[in-house]
Amino acid sequence: MNRIIAPIVLCFLLISPGIIAQNSKQPEFLKYTNSKWVDSIMNSLGPDERIAQLIMVAAYSNRDEAHKQEILKLVEEQKVGGLIFFQGDPVTQAELMNDYQLVADVPLLGAIDAEWGLGMRLDNTISYPFQMGLGAIQNDSLLYEMGQEVASQIKRVGLHVNFAPVVDVNNNPENPVINYRSFGEDKLNVTKKGIAYMKGMQDNNILTSAKHFPGHGDTATDSHYDLPQINHPRTRLDSIEIYPFKKLIDAGIGGVMVAHLDIPALDGSGVPSTLSRKIISDILKDSLEFRGLVITDAMNMKGVTKGNEPGVVDKEAMLAGNDLLEFTEDVPKAISEIRNAIDKGLITQEEIDNRVRKILAVKQWVGLDEYTPTSTQNMVADLNTAEAKLLHRRLVEASLTLLKNEASLIPLQRPDSLKIASISIGAEQMTRFQEGLELYARVAHFQLPVEATSKEIDSLKERLKDYNLVIAGLHDISKYPRNAVGFSKEVQEFISELSGRENTILSLFKNPYVIASLDNIENAQVLIEAYQDSEVTQEMAAQLIFGAIGASGKLPVSVGEKFKLGDGLNSKSLGRFKYTLPEEAGMKSSYLFPKVDSLMQQAIDAKAIPGGQILIARNGKVVMHKAYGFHRYSDTIRVKKNDLYDLASVTKISSALPALMKLYDEGKFSLDAGIDDYLPYFRNSNKAGIPFRQILAHQARLKPWIPYWKNTLRKNGSFKWNTFKKDSSARYPIKVSDELWLHRNYQKKIFREIKKSPLEEKAEYKYSGLVFYLLPSIVEEITNEDYRTYLNENFYSPLGATTLTYNPMEEFPESQIVPTESDFNFRRETIHGNVHDEGAIMMGGVSANAGLFANATDIAKLMQMYLNMGEYAGKRYISEATLKEFSKTQFPENENRRALGFDKPNLEYTGENNNTAKSASESSFGHTGFTGTMVWVDPEYDLLYIFLSNRVLPTRENTRLYQLNTRTQIQQAIYDSMMD
């Protein structure tokens, strides 16, 4: 069926070479041609009713009541045998089919064009990749799996036949009607893909129809509008165009759809192939021995109706040997003409009856002998399962074709060494591709419309001078990836210039044939062919560039002199986060998503938090990444996934701790050493000699905390001399708030207070943040480097954790930073853009106790490195032995659950008051934060969980988040969602 709409479907199972080599296999449905059910139906049908069984009319589910009555009349009065459904929605279509079946004397055969899934025709359904993209896939079992899924969906909407696959060999780049609907120009690849897709459907009792016989690939005319002519000799037609049909017939395909073509070498009369006895009866039925259903292409298309009267043309198609007339425009006339042809001896009643028996046999094979109405309950959900969506992603991933990769630029190894700009060419707003890039690195984004002016282009060029890597996405201007450029001359010249620039990555979300029309594009350092412009292709292309996935696709067509059939480089995954669905990580999205959503909504409704971010990953795959609610309760600013949250005490394991572990690996830091070994100032203190193993495990008898800011106050509430001033100066350079500037030496007083603080009497677990104020100085003492610089260079930048930072207002707009508390005691303002912790802000915002900000994406990268036991994206940061040592419980004999810096699950589960979910393993570790944050990893389950919120807004007295136990309830839901 020649039509145009949207993407195809996914799946598994190896297709063996023997499939193509086997002898001719008759369609399975033929075994029912003389069954008792078929005999009984035949005996009940009059002559005209038998003819009517051979007619299929067009039905729509997006039209009015008049259309429905028209179809009902054709079913009731004319007794048509089937319906082909076009545009509409699945629920209405199923309801209509139920209504039509109700008035049918013989159950109706329902068909649809679902070349790339139901999304080709029906709203709210899945569109899988177009066949051109599928042609790039090297694993044909995925197409079998896609066939299975498409079959399931077609059955779910109450239909039985798919007019697919297209097995036309598209050897004409200018083909206006097949093109991206073809698996490509290689007959063998087209054949293998066609068989895999066909078998996936027919193994699940959906009749398929190979189209468009004898081959519509080498035409420059659309048969919807005129009759194309193919002037190749018979030898060429047999060896190329007809080849896939022959092999699919041998493999047992149930139907073949005949195209409207003028092919002199096969029939010199000039009649369309649909009306040619030589092509249908002599070649398809006799020479190729096809015994299945021969189906016409739509009988309303100009390729067959031109010069032919409705009804009469249907008779001619029947005389040519077709079994099923699709889209008959005048049913009464068609029946009358065919009956007259029988009366005149142009065709026998026996021939008609044999064809009717085949139609009825198909009906029995698909289960219409025991017809039951289709339930519409949960239909949309059933058609959009996580498994079906995951299959879509897997197909897209397998299709991505890396045509150029000079100097192995991708996957990008060290994006932190690059200043990256992205351009969406052909888009006027931020694209999903650009959003995907932003998950891995800091990227400046630009858009360039299809008709951009020279002035706009010159302005963009000037701005690009500041960047040493440009990533450009070339986007399609139409719904379908036609072989059309669409860009203005100026934009094309810019693309050409960009392609010659060093360190340029181009991702083409367009038809591969477009490459031939874009000058110099083949000279880009990196060129990715993505085949179409969908959200999924954009997401996956971004993941490919940064090494979250690899490339394996091969070009299914040749592109002028630039690239040849089969071109495509392989690339490997670096192990960066892959963004996908829970099912790919062995989790159940139907449980996880609604459960997490409801728990977050419960917390928001209870005003426990105004909003938050959730990130969940398993096996290195991000399976849920979502923002909820607002920055403030009274806000209109919704939380976005790239917003930054104050991490609070999560800073303890995200700043100095990775530095200490690295220095421990290097032999520069010892767990047996004390503070005084690195800060001589502490040699004469009561802290001297206390080993860091005890300190980091919170078993060093240290006081929990010191209210430093309160020690700056006089009894009357004013600040003491040499503490704060309202304005900044050389003596008061440390900003605490707009009207509070701290004395430059006050940090020494903080150190002095820590030094003089008394020790607890008993050596037992007591959480203390005191030493974490000192750790930045210790790291600087050991490394002779600035603390922040050391962290950025050794961890945050190479991880691509671009928002993991202190004092975020230095780099990010206030609108991207979520506020915390309205502080009426100390700073007397709403804390926004600065650290919430009073001690940390008095340290200039830089402490190991608190001070770090990040979004969920970036803190997750650091935590995944921990989960990977020190490695991320092919780079080792910390040795596995060190990570294991630091993340294990140190003093369980003292009923202390803590590791070194990291928190651990309670030694015994304590119910609702437990610090983790019940299912968290003993090997799990992480930390929570006062502002309402939690980060946790579980090596036993290869699981990562990030929860960010600002529960302290407007006041720290708001403890509802603890009372609801939201964080650990979500954590438990994660475990409960695991299917294994």
Residue 971 CB burial class (10 angstroms; 0-12, 13-18, ≥19): buried
- Residue 737 domain-assigned (yes or no): no
* Tokens 């839901």, residue located: 973
Kindly compute the dihedral angle of the four CA atoms of residues 103, 107, 112, 114, in this order, to the nearest 10 degrees: 130
779 shares its domain with 875 = yes
Report yes or no: 760 and 701 within 8 Å, Cβ to Cβ: yes
- Residue 256 domain-assigned (yes or no): yes
DSSP assignment of 73-107: HIIIII--SEEEE-SB-HHHHHHHHHHHHHH-SSP
Question: Among 576, 603, 619, which residue terminates a domain?
Answer: 576
601 shares its domain with 557 = no
- Residue 133 domain-assigned (yes or no): no
Report yes or no: 257 and 163 within 8 Å, Cβ to Cβ: yes
What the block records as the tokens of 595 is 């459960």
Q: Which residues contact 194 (CB under 8 A, 6 or more apart)?
A: 165, 166, 167, 183, 210, 244, 247, 248
Nearest to 541 by CA among 507, 565, 516: 507
Domain that holds residue 821: 594-706+757-976
Helix locations, 775-918, DSSP H: 775-783, 787-791, 797-799, 838-842, 856-867, 880-886
**36: CATH:** 3.20.20.300
631 shares its domain with 571 = no
Alpha-carbon span 918 to 66, nearest angstrom: 60
970 — phi, psi (to 5°)?
A: -65, -40
- H or E element in which residue 388 lies: helix 386-399
317 shares its domain with 413 = no
367 shares its domain with 441 = no
- Residue 743 domain-assigned (yes or no): no
- Residue 288 domain-assigned (yes or no): yes
- Residue 725 domain-assigned (yes or no): no
- Residue 392 domain-assigned (yes or no): no
Number of structural domains in the chain: 3
pTM: 0.94
Peptide bond into 47 cis (omega under 30): no
647 shares its domain with 530 = no
156-181 pLDDT tens trace = 999 999 999 999 999 999 999 999 99
Report yes or no: 881 and 865 within 8 Å, Cβ to Cβ: no
- H or E element in which residue 695 lies: helix 692-696
Q: Which residues of the chain have pLDDT under 50?
A: 1-23
Report strand pairing: 443-448 vs 420-425: parallel
Question: Among 543, 576, 609, which residue terminates a domain?
Answer: 576
304 shares its domain with 193 = yes
Alpha-carbon span 22 to 249, nearest angstrom: 10
For residue 453, CA distances in Å to 425, 491, 506, 710 come to 13, 8, 21, 61
Question: Among 354, 382, 410, which residue terminates a domain?
Answer: 382
Tell me what pLDDT residue 718 has.
Answer: 83
**455: CATH:** 3.40.50.1700
166 shares its domain with 311 = yes
699 shares its domain with 768 = yes
Tell me what pLDDT residue 13 has.
Answer: 35
Report strand pairing: 611-618 vs 621-629: antiparallel
806 shares its domain with 909 = yes
For residue 658, CA distances in Å to 182, 303, 862 come to 53, 70, 9
Nearest to 294 by CA among 348, 349, 365, 354: 354
**877: CATH:** 3.40.710.10
Q: Which residues contact 962 (CB under 8 A, 6 or more apart)?
A: none
- Residue 191 domain-assigned (yes or no): yes
* Percent with pLDDT over 90 in the chain: 91
Using only the alpha carbons of the chain, give its radius of gyration: 35
- H or E element in which residue 255 lies: strand 255-258
453 shares its domain with 321 = no
183 shares its domain with 316 = yes
